Amino acid sequence: MKNIKVYLQRPWKFADSPYYQYLLGNPPKGITYIGQNQKKGTYSNRWKFIFLRETKFLIRRIFRIVPIPFPNAHLTKSKEKYDLIHCAHCLSLNNRPWITDTEWVGQFWLAANHEKHPNRRIVKKILMNDNCKKILAWTEWSKKGILKEFPEVKDKVELIYPGIPVQKMKKNKTDKVRLLFGSRAFYFKGGLYALEVIDRMTKKYDNVEGIIISDVPAKVVKKYSKNKKIKFHNLIPQKKFFKEIYPNTDILIYPSFTDTFGFHMTEAMSFGIPVVTASGTSRKEIVRNGKTGFVIESGIGESLPKGFLENLERYGKIIDRMCLKVSKLIEDKDLRERMSKAAYEEISIGRFSIKKMQEKLIKVYRESI
DSSP string, 34-90: EESTT--S----HHHHHHHHHHHHHHHHHHHHS----B-EE----SS--SEEEEESS
Q: What is the structure's pLDDT at 268?
A: 97
Q: What is the structure's pLDDT at 41?
A: 42
Sign of the C-alpha dihedral computed for residues 287, 343, 239 and 142 taken in this order: negative
**Residue 325: is it exposed, middle or buried by C-beta count within 10 angstroms (0-12/13-18/19+)?**
buried
Give the Cβ contact number of residue 85 at 10 Å.
Answer: 24
pLDDT tens column, 320-363: 999 999 999 999 999 999 999 999 999 999 999 999 999 999 99
Structural fold of domain 177-348: Rossmann fold (3.40.50)
pLDDT tens column, 272-286: 999 999 999 999 999
Low-confidence residues of the chain, pLDDT below 70? Answer: 1, 12-16, 36-69, 112-118, 170-172
Q: What is the structure's pLDDT at 42?
A: 47
Inter-CA distances, 175 with 179, 229, 293, Å: 13, 15, 20
Q: How many helices (H) and strands (E) does the chain have?
A: 12, 14
CATH 3.40.50.2000 residue ranges of the chain are 177-348
Distance between terminal CA atoms of the chain? Answer: 13
Q: What is the structure's pLDDT at 14?
A: 54
Structural fold of domain 4-163+354-368: Rossmann fold (3.40.50)
Give the Cβ contact number of residue 9 at 10 Å.
Answer: 22
Q: What is the structure's pLDDT at 196?
A: 97
Q: What is the structure's pLDDT at 43?
A: 45
